[in-house]
Amino acid sequence: MPISQKISAKLKSSSWIRKMFEEGLQMKKKYGVDNVFDLSLGNPVVEPPKEVRQAIKLAANDSSQGLHRYMPNAGLHDVREAIAQSLSLEAACKELVADHIVMVCGAAGGLNITLKTLLDPDEEVIVFSPFFVEYLFYSENHGGKTITVPTNEDFSLNFNALREALSPKTKAVIINSPNNPTGIVYSRKMLEELASILKKYSTDNNNPIYLISDDPYKKIVFDGVETPNILELYDNSIYITSHSKDLAIPGERIGYVAVHPKCADAENLMSGLIFCNRVLGFVNAPALIQRAIQNVQNVSVDAELYRKKRDFLYAELIRIGYSVVKPQGAFYFFPKSPLKDEVLFIQKLAEKKVLVVPGQGFGSPGYFRISYCLPDQVLEGSIAGFEEAFNEVKL
Ligand SMILES: Cc1ncc(COP(=O)(O)O)c(C=O)c1O
């Protein structure tokens, strides 16, 4: 076999999201783009804010010497300084400076350099299900083992299950709030309790556990809900974010990792992240977009646009009879499947030309994920299919 058996096997099992995407392409070819309602992908429909377009133009038009060359692997110092300034205020962490920031190729790049830096073979990374499926691959990329901890019925963190999962091999816990795929936001109280459990376990076992908060949706929240920054609540924390969602520029691959100044082994951790940015082949985050985002740290897409879409779809799903937790952020729903086997149900939806992703793709069978970062006409067009499929399996 010409390619590795490992990757060959992954290609078969890897991603429901990709599978649905490909099915969507086939169906659109067959039935026409306007007749297929593809709610499977999390690709933001809104355009970047005008300030971001302007900043990209300004960065591109700057003809100063050397702006397009290699740079330190951590990224441009001025950019890291601007980020540290705004983040230290947001997270009430005044010791945080440019030296605690590494510019990365999106949150995905940030997660990979972080896990590569932290993990020895077979060390464990705890994730809460349902989770962003790439966490499994990223941990495995760097020799780690993922331990899955279920959440409660309302997708809040299940602390008893977490306590049971902690072990001497636990190196890190990954959280994500606002959450993909549930859209729920962890409250300050919940994060404080999480921090206190990890702190106690770390102290009792003399084994510092890193808390990685992967938060690319942090600014997409509704109804004034608070999204506390983990850097404010837990010393041994690593905050990873990107501008893929809040500035709607996922194609530009820009984000950063921020390490708490009081993190265990902070200096080596920073050096490790910078080294891993290099040896994983990212080298550095793209120069042009680094310079562009430097001055738009206080800008964000209008979350109201997503809030309206959430309200529309939530009201419709409830009217039809679906059981679904109302999301407070991001742009996903994670309803319970009316059929125990959600793959059968999403096939039924696909017959109605509505595409969604089965919960087993996120470690939670019996549910499915809807992305609503889509034009209104796609959401509106999907309702008949949601309703027919629901009624047919309920009969
Ligand atoms: C929870 C979560 N983490 C990380 C990522 C990766 O984002 P980025 O485009 O910044 O790499 C995504 C993308 O959808 C995501 O949903």
Nearest CA to ligand 1 atom 14: 42
Alpha carbon of 53 to ligand 1 centroid (Å): 21
Mutate to test the pocket of ligand 1, among 245, 247, 254, 373 (most ligand atoms within 8 A of CB): 245
| pLDDT category of residue 17 using cuts at 50, 70 and 90 | low
| pLDDT category of residue 15 using cuts at 50, 70 and 90 | low
| β-strands 237-242, 210-214 pairing | parallel
Q: Which two tokens stand for residue 205?
A: 């076992």
**Tell me, what's the pLDDT at 1?**
66
Question: What are the pLDDT digits (tens) for 29-41?
Answer: 889 888 999 999 8
Find out whether the beta carbon of 244 lies less than 6 Å from any atom of ligand 1. Answer: yes
**Tell me, what's the pLDDT at 20?**
75
pLDDT at 395 over 70: no
Nearest CA to ligand 1 atom 7: 107
Mean pLDDT of 55-83: 97
Closest C-alpha among 150, 143, 175 to residue 164:
150
pLDDT at 14 over 70: no
Helix ranges (DSSP H) in 166-249: 188-205
Domains of the chain: 5-48+301-394 (3.90.1150.10), 50-293 (3.40.640.10)
Spatial distance between the Cα atoms of 277 and 216, rounded to a whole number of angstroms: 19
Find out whether the beta carbon of 327 lies less than 6 Å from any atom of ligand 1. Answer: no
Spatial distance between the Cα atoms of 148 and 313, rounded to a whole number of angstroms: 30
- Ligand 1 atom at shortest distance from the alpha carbon of 110: 11
Which pTM was predicted? Answer: 0.96
pLDDT at 221 over 80: yes
Percent of all residues in the chain with a pLDDT value above 90, rounded to a whole number: 89
Q: Which residue has the higher pLDDT, 165 or 18?
A: 165
Mean pLDDT of 77-98: 96
| pLDDT category of residue 21 using cuts at 50, 70 and 90 | confident
Question: What are the pLDDT digits (tens) for 290-346?
Answer: 999 999 999 999 999 999 999 999 999 999 999 999 999 999 999 999 999 999 999
Alpha carbon of 336 to ligand 1 centroid (Å): 23
Find out whether the beta carbon of 108 lies less than 6 Å from any atom of ligand 1. Answer: yes
Find out whether the beta carbon of 180 lies less than 6 Å from any atom of ligand 1. Answer: yes
